[in-house]
Amino acid sequence: MQTNQIIALFIGALLLLGLIAFFLGRAKATRVRAGGTAMYAQPDQYAWFTVVSTAGPALAVSAVGGFLLLLLGAEIPTLYLLAGSLLVACLGLAIGIFMVRPDFHARQAIERVIRWVLAGAALISILTTFGILISIVGEALRFFQMQSFWEFITGTTWNPGASFLQAAGRAEEGSSTAQFGSVPLFAGTFMITAVAMLVAIPVGLLAAIYMAEFAPKRVRTLAKPTLEVLAGIPTVVYGFFAAITVAPIIVSVAGFFGLEASFNNALAPGIVMGIMIIPFISSLSDDVINSVPDSMRQGSLALGMTQGETIRDVVIPAALPGIISASLLAVSRAMGETMIVVMAAGMRPNLTANPLEDMTTVTVRIVAALTGDQEFASAETLSAFALGLVLFVVTLSLNLVSVIMIRRFREKYRVNNL
Amino acid sequence: MSQSFDDISAQLKRRHRQSTHLKWVSMGALGLAGLFLVLFFADMLVKGLPAFQQAQIQVQVDYSEQARQLPLAALNEEVRPLVSRGYLRLIPRRIQENPQLLGTTRMEWVLADSQVDQYLKGHHSKLKPGEQSVVERLQAQGRAELKFNTTFFTNGDSKMPELAGIASAAMGTLLTLVVTLAIAFPIGVMTAVYLEEFAADNRLTQAIEININNLAAIPSILFGLLGLAIFINFFGVPRSSPLVGGLTLALMTLPVIIIATRTALRSVPESIRHAAFGVGCSRWQVVRDHVLPLALPGIMTGSIIGMAQAMGETAPLIIVGMVAFIPDVTNSFTEAATVLPAQIFTWAGEPDRAFVEKTSGGILVLLAVLITLNATAVVLRKKFERRW
């Protein structure tokens, strides 16, 4: 028999046992109650308890067994494992039926089980973070065993080309050795992020000011969801837009001014990324500006300040922590953005200050390293995890700072819905 | 210091002018953002709408004995280069399946080569001048037309632009999203119910909360690294499969669903819970019978938005290998598949000009589905939103 069939059989048997447990449990509870004894719970609750006591331990046993099988490579044949689980299920069924007594709190028992199951589900999000951390850190450590950490942080040449020869044990044949200096990648990431912020922060912030302070209610209710559409467009679509439409425009505009621009210039992905981030900044800033207490505006207007001065000198300074927090989140978003840069930015690591040249970014190199056909243990593939680690650390710190800022704002003005 | 009345009124005028400036500038910023949106959609429509039409030409097909060996022989020399090679390749099989065709000659509408298609649409085309005049003559006779492109919706990927379609990618997206929903929805709702209704406010709960907010802000590509290292290398889930893609996206969608569900649960007033406790419900009974049904519209809205996000996501799926070339529609969770955004990415990398149109066409389909999903979410929210 194939493993799939065995598993299907197991599930079928377990379902059948569960069904039997339900009816036996209910029958017993009904019988006891019909005898005139007062019980702590309803027959259905006893029935469900028997189901839980039948299926729960059996599933736990098979899960633990499966885990051992996968992780520790323990040699337990699937057939024996599942047969054992079914045995446990039968045992659980017997115990469950035995437990159906008037003085047993079936409802509370179920309640406890449900609480544990829910808590288990909540733990999965923690496990995900740990999973990301372990997978990235583990592989990054393997990378740093091959390459020097210092070289990675300070080197200005990213040339992984020869690493697959080294992995194949033919290092001498390659004329140059692989170099993993990540500075040009971070320079590219920084440049594109900076361009994106130059577009997104002014436009997003001003749009938020207009929506929160000037706009009539009708415009506001229409403009906000319309802007959200910009955030809902998939990044791969933006990437195509940047590469096919925006980049040629930039090249011809630059040509008009007598400048030479590459078709993979850093400006196009930067601008398009900025457009993508506008709703992110405008929406958050709008919420923050709206939660600045009205008494502050009224006080300022009562002193004879114009509406513009009130906004500039009272509202914005008050909302500043929130605005900075939104901007930091936006920066972290821009740094981790992948598709736009993969499609529109260059592949060549290039350390330059000219946004019209082609530059590459951290995320581009991660994708390039993992979509090639090198074997997994080669230094180039592992370098993706080292870059991922740096990306993780940077975005995480930006997010944390941003959370602290918004909390400070919230405490100052006692706003709860941010 | 004394100022004349004129000075002050001039100053006042200037200050009010500045105030008006700010109003106009900020309005302009909003307008600019709107303009971006309009330009973007206009560009996509202009580029993508032609993809829904495809050139077909009416040619005389000669199902001769020779054509069974050499499909090219079925057509006269003049139109041979104009017909899609994908169509020619099928001629022997059609004769085999339908033996009475053999020896007949028919006029048939057949799929034209993508260069003919580009030529008829007025784009740059690599047709030779002689071929161009043939196409023009056919067009004048009504034998070359742009017709609705059904191939685009029924075919998988192909190296020939006229045969490339989104069917396999759409199927892959569907399978992947089924996995994502099946995992992210129950776990997300359970986590939210635990945090809102069951958990005491202790260190563990706070850790989980901070953690969820962080997960929501982690770059999506890192989830791809997780999928590669844990699901593929460690647990041995097949690479490129909807299963591994769905698992990866599920972890990414989880925070969205959790946050939306918590908001929905929080908006159910305490009085409902008090009333249910008052008649002797246990905590789980309160949640199951009273709180969850009332919060359900909010949960559904959040989940639809989360699914829409997952549907447009590409980066983590590239990392777990879902950019494969998939010519046939598969419906297995463990075989290699591709998804719509990944298909768009693949086509965007094709050098052939005709693929630009396919890419934009795929984008239009993707955007249409996403907008429908989001509009459904908005309608759902409007319809079931309750003010307590």
Q: Please give the radius of gyration of chain A, using alpha carbons only, rounded to the nearest integer.
A: 31
Report chain A's terminal Cα–Cα distance, integer Å: 57
pLDDT at A201: 94
Which residues on neighbouring strands pair with residue A358, listed in sequence order?
A: A265
Which residues of A21-148 form beta strands (DSSP E)? none
Rounded to an integer, the average pLDDT of A263-269 is 87
d(CA B208, CA B259): 12
Q: Could you tell me which of A205, A178, A146 has the C-alpha nearest to residue A326?
A: A205
The pLDDT tens digits for A288-310 are 998 888 999 999 999 999 999 99
The pLDDT tens digits for A402-412 are 888 888 887 77
The pLDDT tens digits for A66-82 are 777 766 666 667 777 77
| pLDDT of residue A334 exceeding 70 | yes
Cβ within 8 Å, pair B314-A338? yes
Fold of A179-413: MetI-like fold (1.10.3720)
Residues 211-270 of B with CB under 8 A from A: 211-215, 217-226, 228-230, 233, 235-236, 251, 254-255, 258
Element (H, E) at B12: helix B5-48
Residues 71-100 of B with CB under 8 A from A: none
- ipTM of the prediction: 0.89
Q: Is A210's Cβ below 8 Å from some Cβ in B?
A: yes
| Surface-to-core class of residue A170, CB atoms within 10 Å of its CB (0-12 exposed, 13-18 middle, 19+ buried) | exposed
The pLDDT tens digits for A117-160 are 998 888 888 888 888 888 889 888 888 888 888 888 787 778 77
Of A125, A132, A384, the CB nearest to B226: A132
Which site among A107, A126, A132 would you substitute to test the B interface, given the most B Cβ atoms closer than 10 Å to its Cβ?
Answer: A132
Closest CA in chain A for residue B363 = A237
d(CA A108, CA A114): 10
Proportion of chain A above pLDDT 70, given as a percent: 91
Closest CA in chain A for residue B215 = A129
Fold of B167-387: MetI-like fold (1.10.3720)
Cβ within 8 Å, pair B219-A395? yes
Q: Is the alpha carbon torsion for A245, A246, A251, A256 positive or negative? A: positive
Q: Could you tell me which of B264, B251, B246, B265 has the C-alpha nearest to residue B212?
A: B251
Residues 178-207 of B with CB under 8 A from A: 186-187, 190-191, 193-195, 198-199, 207
Q: Is B313's Cβ below 8 Å from some Cβ in A?
A: yes
Phi, psi dihedrals of residue A361, rounded to the nearest 5°: -125, 175
Cβ within 8 Å, pair A370-B319? yes
Cβ within 8 Å, pair B219-A129? no
| pLDDT of residue A44 exceeding 60 | yes
Report chain B's terminal Cα–Cα distance, integer Å: 59
Question: Which of helix, strand or coil describes residue B107?
Answer: strand
Q: Is B381's Cβ below 8 Å from some Cβ in A?
A: no
pLDDT at B279: 92
Of B28, B194, B374, the CB nearest to A232: B374
For residues A240 and A1, which has the higher predicted lDDT (pLDDT)?
Answer: A240
Which residues of B98-236 form beta strands (DSSP E)? 105-111, 144-148
Domain definitions of chain A by residue range:
3-130, 179-413
Contact assessment for residue A288 and residue A418, using Cβ atoms and an 8 Å cutoff = yes
The pLDDT tens digits for A204-250 are 999 999 999 898 889 888 888 888 888 889 999 999 999 988 999 99
At how many degrees (to 10) do helices B5-48 and A217-232 cross? 40
Question: Which of helix, strand or coil describes residue A378?
Answer: coil
Reported as a pLDDT band with limits 50, 70 and 90, residue A417 is low
pLDDT at A174: 46
Residues 384-413 of A with CB under 8 A from B: 384-385, 388, 391-392, 395-396, 399-400, 403
Contact assessment for residue A195 and residue A271, using Cβ atoms and an 8 Å cutoff = yes
Which residue is associated with the tokens 């992210």? B184
Of B194, B235, B282, the CB nearest to A119: B194
Domain definitions of chain B by residue range:
50-149, 167-387
Phi, psi dihedrals of residue B23, rounded to the nearest 5°: -60, -45
Q: Is B386's Cβ below 8 Å from some Cβ in A?
A: no
pLDDT average per 10 residues of sequence, chain B (388 residues): 80 90 92 91 89 85 79 78 80 80 80 84 80 83 83 84 87 93 94 89 84 88 90 83 92 93 91 92 90 90 92 90 81 85 89 85 92 88 76
Which site among B14, B30, B345 would you substitute to test the A interface, given the most A Cβ atoms closer than 10 Å to its Cβ?
Answer: B30
Cβ within 8 Å, pair A236-B43? no
